[in-house]
Chains A and B, each alone.
Chain A
């Protein structure tokens, strides 16, 4: 197991390329609509789980109401495309901007609150969003939902299933790259420092509050992007898509996959999306199987399957050992 980790660390680039290639080839091999739909759903959840990982894995703030941001993104895109006729590129950007703003707003209480209290704030936020979506009838059509959201199209060409799959794959890739750059930078170090010890961080010149707010904004806007794609892809949204249950699914993916590791989010999201589909024949029993698996996970590896690994650190440590051996 440990050997495997070192091998992975050494060849991380190739592993990533192979995984990405597999994701590219998938809809070409499995051309059944159902399988492509499952693939798209996986990638939507990967994006959501990644975005939550930014907040929970790197910043150490548990986001319990992630579906709230998902919903804001979806509703922003749905309203702008049905009422104002905006193209999806514009609705995507608008959804990111709007959810980002809400992220910054929800980040504000971190000035006074910490840990689990912030988690409660995010949970309440999700409920407030759902209540507003249900009751602001003039804007959201309440529980009747918004139907006929324009499908994705560019220059008059409608996206087929494959094209939609590639679009969300591209968005996930973008999110992974952006996350990687943030983590391996001055800002990423600031974020980790605040997570580890915010008093020491502030003594070293990092403003913990502004980092928390900023990361809330970044994470939320990625969730908003996932929401915007989802709205255009599915064509109909109503408040029942963005409940606390949805939030629970997203955070299960992030935590089970592994906190602070982008590959963890991919693994968590894909597993927890595909598993219920595979277990479909078991009908009612599948919820039990699902629950038991989560409990086993929590006992065996509470930090998540890929949690607590930093491949870059492993690589660096290995390089030193090699130098020592060569001398």
Chain B
């Protein structure tokens, strides 16, 4: 494992009016690492995620991708730089097929403009062929190739999650951000998911994920951040975090 930090959040604070959803959060993801964010409901995990991916601009603090300050950049600019996310409540494009959903993922890496498209230039044609090929490869990897012409939302729930991963992968990211990838999955599906995430890491991706399934988090993450009331109360390897008294208190309450 190399030590190169690819994502760094520095003293990130997000306020919504009087509510402080995230407070002075620091976070780092290194290359080829699987990092988890855990915490009770309402701890600010998703907000921090939204800060990183550009959905919200943090009230204070900075976010760096490699050495570039990406604070306040828009989601589509950030995706272009090499970060891709999935959503807690699946957000696929219902009027598009599975294949088209994944092809859309390649969008940020292609360039054809309106005139290219209208005059069918060589560049546009070549790009379109490459996009199709790439999307099909990804669908074979995630096991959705057979269903490629079905409408995205006609798939069973578990496959819809796979499709979200596929779409995120299509943008050729360096860093993948998964928001509760195991939500709604049974034990067998969760096992498959953890194999899949390991496979992604071996393929060279770095992964940051929010998850409630403790078994999954503890078994796959290299490091874990624990959020409570918007603050990072602990971070470290799964074993350290599990035995940290602050964490136990946040989850189970204080011993009398």
Contact = CB atoms under 8 A, between A and B. Distances in A.
A186 B107 contact: yes
Contacts of B84: 203-204
A207 interface: yes
Given A186-B110, A186-B127, A196 B97 contact: no
Interface string B75-90: 1100110001101000
A192 B124 contact: no
Looking at A181, A188, A192, A196, the one whose CB has the most chain B CB atoms below 10 A away is A196
B73 to A, nearest CB: 11
A283 B167 CA distance: 57
Given A186-B127, A313-B151, 11 more contacts: A181-B117, A182-B117, A186-B117, A193-B107, A200-B92, A201-B104, A202-B76, A203-B53, A203-B75, A204-B108, A218-B114
A207 B120 CA distance: 22
B91 A199 contact: yes
A311 interface: no
B95 interface: yes
A186 B79 contact: no
Given A193-B93, A207-B76, A182 B107 contact: no
21 contacts: A186-B107, A186-B112, A186-B127, A189-B100, A192-B93, A192-B96, A193-B96, A193-B104, A196-B96, A200-B91, A200-B93, A202-B75, A203-B76, A204-B168, A205-B76, A205-B80, A205-B108, A205-B109, A218-B114, A316-B97, A320-B146
Looking at B100, B113, B146, the one whose CB has the most chain A CB atoms below 10 A away is B100
Nearest to B173: A205
Contacts of A203: 53, 55, 75-76, 79, 84-85, 87, 91
B149 A317 contact: yes
Contacts of B128: 185-186
Contacts of B127: 186
Top 3 nearest A-B pairs (CB, nearest first) are A205-B108, A200-B91, A316-B149
Interface in A197-213: 197, 199-207
B118 interface: yes
Interface residues on B, range: 35 or more
The SS class assigned to the A binding surface is helix
Interface string B196-218: 00000000000000000000000
A204 B150 contact: no
A201 B127 CA distance: 20
Interface residues on A, range: 20 to 34
Contacts of B171: 204-205
Nearest to A320: B149
A178 interface: yes
Contacts of B85: 203
A10 B247 CA distance: 61
Contacts of A201: 93, 104
A76 B245 CA distance: 75
A297 interface: no
A204 B95 CA distance: 16
Nearest to A197: B91
A124 B124 CA distance: 38
A187 interface: yes
A179 to B, nearest CB: 10
Contacts of A214: 114
A151 interface: no
Looking at A181, A199, A203, the one whose CB has the most chain B CB atoms below 10 A away is A203
A56 B178 CA distance: 33
Contacts of A161: none
A204 B107 contact: yes
B110 A204 contact: no
A195 B80 CA distance: 21
A196 B95 contact: yes
B131 A178 contact: no
B244 interface: no
Contacts of A197: 91-93
A190 interface: yes
Given A186-B107, A204-B105, A313-B149, A178 B118 contact: yes
Interface in A298-326: 310, 313, 316-317, 319-320
B103 interface: yes
A204 B117 contact: no
Contacts of A187: 112-114, 117
B112 to A, nearest CB: 5
B41 interface: no
A197 B104 CA distance: 12
A204 B97 CA distance: 16
B150 A207 contact: no
A190 B109 CA distance: 13
A204 B78 CA distance: 9
A185 B116 CA distance: 10
B104 A190 contact: yes
A23 to B, nearest CB: 23
Looking at B79, B109, B127, B149, the one whose CB has the most chain A CB atoms below 10 A away is B149
